[in-house]
Structure 1
Amino acid sequence: MFILFSVIMMLILFILLPALAHSQQIFGGRCSDFTNTSIPNFDIDKYSGRWFEIYRYNNVIQMNADCTVVDVSKIDDNSFNADMKLKLFTPMTMHTKAHFIDPVKRNGKFIDKMPYLPELEYWVLDTDYETYTIEWSCIEFLKTNLQMLWVLARRPKIDEKTERKIQTVLKQNNLGKRGMRKSGNDPENCKCVYKDC
């Protein structure tokens, strides 16, 4: 029975691995432990509002979408809604709800729940609340890990100072060296995502 289960799991892995490789960044070993990197005393009120995606690792959820925005609205002191709007072939909206992993520590580590999908743990590695936020997620699978990374900002474009700050944080955390996709945020192409048409 165990041998049959192992064969089936290897077959599933063999079939899914190309799709996963295209959709997340695959790394060897365990997920990093950014113990001191997530935000202490994370403030949901300051975090609320609209965020525009600037960069990301490609992922299954967003595929090759552009114009991604996330509208964050506080539910209570420990949770918030995050409505992701994007343009694949046509504008789409995905509703998610996130809550602190540890409501006592409130350190920017969250569980995110989307309809019909497993819960996803993700961390806000760095933010100044007013300009940018860097979010990261990692799932371990056998002896590899699948990472997702998002860089978002309060505006569709960032200035050089903000870019330098973001790149410094990514470098300190050994992130963003490969496979970062710059989001297409052309105002004309994105108008029906940024505003209702």
Structure 2
Amino acid sequence: MLNQVTYIAGVLVLLCGSQTLAMDVDRGTCDANMTAIRDLDMKRYGGLWYPILSSLRYSKHTPKCLAISIDQDVRGKYVIKKSEIDQKSGNVVRRDVNVVSVDATDGKYSLELKTSPEGIDVYVLDTDYETFAIQHTCLEVDDIISLKWSVIMTRDRLPTSDIILKVRNSAKLSGIDLKKVVTIPQTGCRNYFTHI
């Protein structure tokens, strides 16, 4: 069980920032009322996203200028490319994670895990493809505890107040507790984050 938790935390560090400390931990199984979108169109979902809110807790600093790009490689496989500013050095840090499968009907894609051939499922709770997306992951460990992570992303690094209001309303309807999210700083980021 501890190996699973450690490896999952490692994947989230790759995806969500080098200072990731923990996901929400609850007793029991994952929430049954979390529903993902149907007919996820991964081609439309691909491209550049900027995480603006996350339910992850960070040990020292929240990642700055975090950007995620969902791209297809020459084989047609999806790869998630993440970049952020290292808080100590100020350098750009980049990491990649492979998507092993996409289940459009269930509104999810699975990230590669060395310890599990199925990978870790990421559910798209809501998106309009053009302005925002809400993702959620919940992992049950031996039916004793559940580890949860949610992230709210926008296509614009600095979204308008209208988009932020729309996203917050959608997050509430999706079952995200906005009291548990932290803001990911996106101000003062250089143009080289336009393309990862």
- For Structure 1 versus Structure 2, the TM-score category normalised by the shorter chain is 0.7 to 0.9
1:121 matched residue in structure 2: 121
| Residue 88 of structure 1: aligned partner | 86
Residue number in structure 2 paired with 1:107: 106
Corresponding residue for residue 130 of structure 2: 130
8 Å contact from structure 2 (residues 23, 149) kept in 1: yes
Larger radius of gyration: 1
Aligned counterparts of 1:143 and 1:170: Cα–Cα separation in 2 = 26
Mapped partners of 1:165, 1:76: distance in 2: 35
**Retained in 2: the 8 A contact 1:71–1:83?**
yes
What is the root-mean-square deviation in Å for CA atoms of aligned residues? 3.5
User: In the TM superposition, what is the alpha-carbon distance from 1:127 to its structure 2 partner?
Assistant: 0.5
Aligned mate of 2:46, from 45, 48, 72: 48
Instruction: Measure, in 1, the Cα distance between the counterparts of 2:194 and 2:173.
Output: 36
* Shift in Å, 1:45: 1.8
> Which residue does 2:99 correspond to in 1?
98
Aligned residue for 2:28?
Answer: 29
Partner of 2:17: none
Question: Alignment identity in percent?
Answer: 17
The alpha-carbon distance between structure 1 residues 76 and 147, as it changes in their structure 2 partners (threshold 3 A), is: farther
TM-score for the superposition, normalised by structure 1: 0.73
- Matched residue type, 1:137: T
Closer, same or farther in 2 for the Cα pair 1:46/1:195, shift >3 Å?
closer
For residues 178 and 144 of structure 1, the distance between their equivalents in structure 2, rounded to whole angstroms, comes to 21
CA contact 1:30–1:143 (8 Å) conserved in 2:
yes
Q: Equivalent residue for 1:3?
A: none
Q: Which consecutive residues of structure 1, in runs of 5 or more, have no partner in the other structure?
A: 1-5
Task: Look up the SS of the partner of 1:178 in the other structure.
Answer: helix
Structure 1 residue runs of 4 or more that deviate by more than 6 Å after TM superposition:
none
| Structure 2, gaps ≥5 residues long | 10-19
Q: How many residues in Structure 1 have an aligned counterpart in Structure 2?
A: 175
In structure 2, relative to structure 1, the CA distance for the partners of 1:180 and 1:168 (3 Å cut) is: same
User: Which is richer in helix?
Assistant: 1
Take 1:98 and 1:59, find their aligned partners in 2: how far apart are those partners? 24
Give the whole-Å Cα distance in 1 for the aligned partners of 2:168 and 2:75: 31
Match in the other structure for 1:175? 176
Normalised to the residue count of structure 2, the TM-score between the two structures is 0.73
Cα distance, 1:58 vs structure 2: 1.8
